[in-house]
Amino acid sequence: MTEHRAYKTIQKLERSAGFFPVILAMYRIGVDLGGTNIAVGLVNDDYVITARISVPTNALQAAEGVVAGIGDAIERVLEKSGLTGPDCAGIGVGAPGTCDTERGIVFRSYSLSWNNVPLAAMLEERFHLPVRINNDANCAALAEVKAGAAKGCKNVVLVTLGTGIGSGIVINGTIYSGYLGSGTEMGHMLLDYNGEQCSCGRKGCWDAYASSTALVVQAKRAAFSRPESRLNSLPQITGQSVFEAAEQGDVTAIAIINKYCEYLALGISNIINVLAPEMILIGGGVSSQGERILEPVRKYARENCFDKREEAMPIIKIASMGNEAGIIGAAVL
């Protein structure tokens, strides 16, 4: 959707809702709601965050308390910028979980312990602005398409490698969430139905092989069976330290990283076989390794793709917007 059409859509929504004023606003409020922190930013028409604030989520309190915290943070950002609600076109929230985007409800979030929270309605009541919500990884994917590494692309998949694997899909320039927002959980596609235990309760999900948590598990296991490995002398095995040990020539660490890249590429080849996007972006902690993971992943992914033509392969690169993607993507919802 072009920016002009997006704005027209906002106007149309405002008119159909009846009570939202039609406004010529140049700012949007983006909220990146996480299990640990709430980051709120004011985003201008050039997708630049002009003011931001981050406050603790305090996820143990009831949903009403968390939503009040989001509202307070929004007010502080507006105050910081000398603006008020009517200066903004709307509020977007990226939430960590399954979102019913049509009704603005967070259906389920494990990190917030939320079930059926009508987040959009709660914020609309306080700010009298249109509120849109979506899954946080979807928001990050949208931000990369609007202003980041995938700018100008229409069909893009973002995969974030962190504690788990997050993923967002943009098709024809808009977020694809699936029926009732329950799609795009790519981390839970199966690689091996009798495989590693996944945090979702099943066995063999991609998440259990290619998240940074999985990398650490694989490294600890390998270090235990190879007493001579440098990994055993580390105070703590982290994703970063496994890459460093491999860099220093540790044979065990090199084998772990190679295997990890194969697992990563296997999931990516599945994505390519189903969606054939123009571009696949890798984000999250492990993505700081850049070409160290991209080079083997491109090679293994192509070997596992149904269409092996070089020109049919999507561009696979690192996402560029980091922590800002959540706020900007939410703001442009």
Q: Could you list the residues that contact Zn ion (CB under 5 A)?
A: 188, 198, 200, 202, 205
Q: How many CA atoms lie within 13 A of 90 on its CB side?
A: 25
CB of 202 to Zn ion, least distance (A): 5
Nearer to Zn ion, 133 or 215 (CB): 215
Q: What DSSP letter does each residue of 55-109 carry, written as one string? A: EE--TTS-HHHHHHHHHHHHHHHHHHTT--GGGEEEEEEEESSEEETTTTEEEEE
Nearer to Zn ion, 195 or 285 (CB): 195
Residues 6+ apart with CB under 8 A from 108: 97, 98, 114, 115, 116
Tokens 């694997």 belong to: 165
Amino acid at residue number 160 = T
Residues 6+ apart with CB under 8 A from 290: 318
CB of 93 to Zn ion, least distance (A): 25
CB of 147 to Zn ion, least distance (A): 31
3-state secondary structure (DSSP) of residue 153: coil
Nearer to Zn ion, 139 or 198 (CB): 198
Nearer to Zn ion, 88 or 214 (CB): 214
CB of 71 to Zn ion, least distance (A): 34
Nearer to Zn ion, 91 or 165 (CB): 165
Contact 150, 279 (CB under 8 A): yes
CB of 117 to Zn ion, least distance (A): 23
